[in-house]
Amino acid sequence: MKRIVALILALSFAAPAIAHDHKPGETSEQKRVVDFLSSWRRPKGSFSITHRQQVCCYSTGANQDCFPVKAVRRADDGVIEVLPDTDGTSTTAQANYTRWYRLDTGVEEDKQPDPRNSPDGRSYVCLAGNVVICYVAGAGT
């Protein structure tokens, strides 16, 4: 019984791991990515928000919702679509975010008056539900 109580107490005080936190032993590139994702602010796009006032990552709580981009394609109507790279994330993220998302909201960083650059040359996307709220193209995309 004492072991069960100790286990319950230990679990109740354990902080959940957040994907965009610094981790021991990370490389300087990983640190740049974490710093970028933790400070990335939303462009206005076609939303009714103030430019750069809200966060891109964790916009709906402390859940993984920003990802590197696995692939980019152009749909038949010309709109860019991205496929998040959920490899190495939680099974929930893999179940919820493994599909193509349209970038039809004007949130691409290269279209902003104050564009942000990718921290490591990869493309990144942040999602709120089924909507892309932030996108930065990497080198060559």
Q: Nearest CA to 57 among 72, 81, 36, 31? A: 36
Q: How many CB atoms lie within 10 A of CB 94?
A: 14
The pLDDT tens digits of the residues spanning 89-118 come to 878 887 888 899 999 889 999 999 999 999
Q: Is 61 left (phi over 0), alpha (psi -120 to 50) or beta?
A: left
Q: What is the pLDDT of residue 141?
A: 66
Q: Tell me which of 34 and 5 has the higher pLDDT.
A: 34
Tokens of 11: 């679990």
Full-model pTM = 0.79
Segment 54-87, tens digit of pLDDT: 999 876 665 658 999 999 999 999 999 999 998 8
Task: Give CA–CA dist 37/120, Å, rounded.
Answer: 12
**Per-residue confidence (pLDDT) for residue 18, from 0 to 100:** 41
Query: Residue 124's pLDDT is what?
Result: 96
